[in-house]
Amino acid sequence: MSQHTLIALLQDRPGVLHRTVTLLRRRGFNIASLAVGRSEVPGISRMTLVVDASDATQVVSQLDRLVEVIGVTDVTNEHAVQRETALAKIVASPSRLHQLVDIVAAHGARVLHVGDDEMIVEITDTPERVELFIAFIRPEGLAELMRTGRLAMMRGRTTTRLEAPAHYRDQADGAPHEEVAA
C-alpha cells in the first residue's frame, strides 16, 4: 500500500480536527502523519496529511464532504516540497557528544543544546533524509524523539488556497492574492 500526501484547508474552529480524525478512523484510513496549523488567512488552517492508501480518491472525497473542510488536494504526484522537523535527545559520554556535534552538523542537523551527557539536535529535511538521520543517531544513544509530521507545499505559483473564500482573504492584511488556477 502506498502513501498519499494531502493538503487540506480547514475552517479554524473547535472540533474540526476531531471531525477529520474521526472520519479517517471510521472509514478505515490509516494516518501516517498529520500536521496542522494556522494558514496565511485568518480563520483558516492548513493541514498536511499522509495516509496509507493505494487510492486516495475516497479519502479526498470523504474529507471534502466535511462542512468545515474547504478543500483537499492530493499532492503526492505534484512534485511538492516536503519537509519534516524532528527533535532528538542523544545521551552519550561527554567525549562522544563532543564528536557528535560535528557529525550531526554534517547531516544538516542543528545542535540546540549540549549538556554534560546529553544534547538536543534538530533536523529539518525531506522525510526520507529525516528517517536516515534518525537511523544514524539511534545507536548513538537516542533517548527521546519528537517529530512534527510532514509539511508539504506545491511548487510554482499554484497554491492550495484557491478555494479560500473572499471574505476570509480580505481579512489577510492586504496580503497579495496572486493565484494561478490549478
Partner 1 sequence: MSLPSSTTSSSPGSSGPTHNATSAPRTGAHRTGAQVMCEALIREGASVMFGIPGGCIMPFYHAMWEYRDALRHVLCRHEQGAGHAAEGYARATGQVGVCIGTSGPGATNLVTPIADAWMDGTPLIAITGQVPSHLLGTDAFQETDITGITVPITKHNFLVTRADELPRVFREAFHIARTGRPGPVLIDITKDAQLARLVPDWDVAMDLPGYRPTGFHPELAHAYGAVPSNADAIEACAALLHAAARPLILAGNGVIQGGATRELRALAEQTGIPVITTLHGLGVMPHDHPLALGMPGMHGWVHVNRAIQQCDVLLNIGSRFDDRVTGKASTFAPHAKVIHVDIDAAEIGKLVRADIGIVSDCRPVLEALAVSLSAATATDATRDRRPWLTEIARMRDDHMPRQGYTRRDRSAPLMPHDVFDAFNANFRDRQDWRVVTDVGQHQMWAAQLIDWSRPRSHITSGGAGTMGFSLPAAMGAAIADPERTVWVIVGDGGFQMTSCELATIAQEGLTNLKIAVINNGYLGMVRQWQQLFEGRRYSGTPLTGPDFSKLAEAHGLRGITVDHADDAVLAIQTAWAQHSCVLIDFRVEREANVFPMVPAGRSIGDMMLTESADASQHDSSPRVASHHATSHHAASPAASPSVSPSAKA
Closest to partner 1 by CB, 105 or 182: 182
CB of 18 to partner 1, least distance (A): 6
Sign of CA dihedral 60, 62, 24, 40: positive
CB of 128 to partner 1, least distance (A): 26
How far apart CA 138 and CA 149 sit, in angstroms, is: 19
Closest to partner 1 by CB, 30 or 61: 61
**Coil, helix or strand at residue 47:** strand
CB of 165 to partner 1, least distance (A): 4
CB of 57 to partner 1, least distance (A): 4
List, in order, residues 6 or more apart from 65 with CB less than 8 Å away.
none
Give the binding site for partner 1 (CB under 8 A). Answer: 9-11, 14-15, 18-19, 22-23, 26, 57-58, 60-62, 64-74, 163-165, 168, 182
> CB neighbours (10 Å) of residue 130?
23
CB of 62 to partner 1, least distance (A): 5
Closest to partner 1 by CB, 144 or 163: 163
C-alpha distances (whole Å) from 169 to each of 89, 120, 177 are 40, 39, 8
Closest to partner 1 by CB, 23 or 91: 23
CA angle (59 as vertex; 54, 62 as ends), nearest 5? 150
How far apart CA 13 and CA 10 sit, in angstroms, is: 8
Q: If you ran DSSP here, which 8-state letter would residue 22 be given?
A: H
